[in-house]
Amino acid sequence: MPIINVDHLIKYYQVHEKEPGLKGSFQSLFHRQYKQVKAVDDISFIIDQGELVGFIGPNGAGKTTTLKCLSGLLYPTGGAVEVLGFNPWRRQPEFQKQFALVMGQKNQLWWDLPALETFNLNKEIYEIPDKQYRQTLNQLVELLDVKDILKIQVRKLSLGQRMKCELIAALLHNPKVLFLDEPTIGLDVIMQKVMRDFIKAYNREYKSTIILTSHYMDDVKELCQRIIIIDNGKVMFDGLLQEVINQYARNKILTVTFAKPVLKTDLKPIGVVKDWQYPQAKILVPRSEAKDRAIKLMQSFPIDDINIEEPPIEAIIREVFSKNE
């Protein structure tokens, strides 16, 4: 039985539109104009236990709205959703104790209190037994290395430290389903890596089902085998990340270091030179001919080093959107 089953989910909003200025404000008092916004427009997907799925798309694509419908925060306009066999918007206590929603731009920690106070409060809210609470808290504190900051006011913590504590607060009740909405937003490169490693370890250890949204393609590439691409409220792709790469990445990149001086114009028969900073060059070549072009390059030029690389995942995702326009 699937853990998450989304069947033709629809969520439309009525948005008030007003002409600018005092005249527009006055007119809107008597004749309000509305526009229908299709935040989620008939999407369907199934997620099984233990899957870590990347849910990606541009701003306004419908990602966060979908997660809010899955967690019961929003009532859908149409369609059906089941999470762990529950109807989310009935908000049954038995369901709410089995999932967690972490939003990178929203706080659940008490700002003027130490994070430990929020943890203790969540223990009572979720009715976590004392022994389970202590065991889970100790595991999470060790995994995220936050033992020394638990008694410090949240407002005095760095963004990275706060996000670690946000995760602990969300995971104390050992949720079976975890919705992560931009969990690494605003973090520096090192802290992003720490958070990715933690999410990967948590998924592996607890077999939790995770949906991850992120604008950082490194998050998706390192964590998710399967991705769902959404744009304008519709699913553009649902499958393995490698399938997206194979289907939409028409080129590969030859990254070359030359042993002796070479003219950039001489490289035209090999491919399109995308970056030239002697002694290195990045050359775009057709995917199916990458090996042959690399061999030709080595036979024709003094090469010190050469790598065949995939294009950045961001470029591949842009290709998916352009193909569906």
CA distance 252 to 287: 5
More confident residue, 189 or 301: 301
Residue 226 φ/ψ, nearest 5 degrees: -105, 140
Residues counted in the chain? 325
Q: Is the pLDDT of residue 101 over 80?
A: yes
CA distance 66 to 2: 17
Please state which CATH class domain 4-245 belongs to.
Answer: alpha beta
Per-domain residue ranges for the chain? 4-245, 250-309
Tell me 198's DSSP state.
H
**CATH number, domain 250-309, options 3.30.70.980, 2.30.30.40, 3.40.50.10710, 3.40.50.720:** 3.30.70.980
Report the alpha-carbon angle 174-176-180, nearest 5. Answer: 90
Residue 33's pLDDT is: 75
Question: pLDDT band at 24, cuts 50/70/90?
Answer: low
Question: pLDDT band at 185, cuts 50/70/90?
Answer: confident
Per-residue model confidence as pLDDT tens digits over 132-173? 999 999 989 988 888 899 999 999 998 888 888 998 999 999
Residue 152: name the closest of 163, 143, 161, 142 by CA.
161
